[in-house]
Amino acid sequence: MNPRLPAEWEIQDGVLLAWPHEGTDWAYMLEDIRPVFADIIRHIVRFERVLLTAPHAASAAEYLDNVGVDLSKVTICEIPNNDTWARDFGPVTVNYNNKPVLLDFGFNGWGLKFPAHYDNLISKRLKQLGLLLPNLNTIGLILEGGAIESDGLGTILTTAECLLSPNRNPQLNKSEIEQALASLVGAKRVLWLTNGFLAGDDTDSHIDTLARICPDNTIIYQACDVPLDEHFGPMKLMEQELAAFTAPDGSPYRLIPLPWPKARFDEQAHRLPATYANFLIINGAVLVPTYRDLENDRAALDQITSAFPGREIIGIDCLPLLEQHGSLHCVTMQLPQGVLA
């Protein structure tokens, strides 16, 4: 077995999402959040298929149809969900000898913070319904998709804050986590960030909120250029760590900083984790979260364009997603070529 975790920019069959409904934490703001999900789905189906879970498939289909989403490329399956963060409970696709295999890692609500009894079963239910083609292997390791970035060549980028969290895999030390990543996803080396965070983030610093591996030995990362902001020091230290990393060929990474979005707060004045790093790469395009912050939104789209020449860069208003402490990448999980039935 030679496992390989594909890079996100490799060819995909589709994207998995879970529908926000009355039984989720979105219940109080469904009128605000459903248009965001519909917008994400509307853009994805221009390029590939969408697999959507919902406890009431007919009502989700009716909503999407009413707002003009092309349902011919959307498969809606009736499966209950606690929440909508498909990145973290969805199956992780690994290629074994160039054939896709699905890894169903344990999901425990980001270190036992939130209920996950339905979400933890979604990959199994999708397989039982015949919607996923490859074998599905249940893995005893707790690991969320948002916690790891891959270049497709054996480099894994992650954060110590998340993968070494005592509420995830307390029985494993750093070396044992690296060994598990080597055997399960083909990690030849693991790059650990020990600095960088976003206030209001429930994930213990998922890498997909901070820094992303891009093609051609490039890392794009969320920077902070506001000296009085609480993030300024930690994000500068993270920047220094990224500058010290080398690509597989030994050269320094090309680093692209993202602008610091305007601070956002909830009704209780708690800081919300706005980040431009939480973008989704799909076939032919990159979907980028924007936050009604005209100057920074535009600058972020320009920076991401420089990392993905030839792809359409599409901004999607994700300000409502911040209310539950996530963004665009967090609510999606790409399904690489050969996965969808």
100, β-bridge pairs: 95
**266-to-80, 208, 292, 327, 329 alpha-carbon distances in Å:** 28, 22, 15, 15, 21
- State the Cα angle at 4 between 191 and 105, rounded to 5°: 80
Separation of alpha carbons 180 and 288, rounded Å? 31
Other C-beta atoms within 10 Å of 249: how many?
A: 7
Residue that has been written with the tokens 């790059």 in this structure: 191
- How would DSSP label each residue in 262-303? PP-B-TT--B----SS--EEETTEEEEEE-S-HHHHHHHHHH
- Residue 27 exposed, middle or buried by CB count within 10 Å (0-12, 13-18, 19+): exposed
Q: Which one, of 192, 188, 104, lies nearest residue 152 by Cα?
A: 188
Find out whether 217 and 183 touch, Cβ atoms under 8 Å: no
152, β-bridge pairs: none
Catalytic residue among 162, 214, 224, 330: 330
Indicate if 330 belongs to the active site.
Answer: yes
Separation of alpha carbons 82 and 24, rounded Å? 6
Question: Computed from CA positions of residues 179, 182, 184, 190, in that sequence, does the dihedral angle turn out positive or negative?
Answer: positive
Q: Which one-letter DSSP state was computed for residue 145?
A: G
Q: Where are the beta strands (DSSP E) in the chain?
A: 3-4, 12-18, 49-54, 74-78, 92-96, 99-106, 136-142, 149-150, 155-159, 189-193, 211-214, 218-222, 254-258, 280-282, 285-290, 312-317, 333-336
So which residues are the catalytic ones? 330
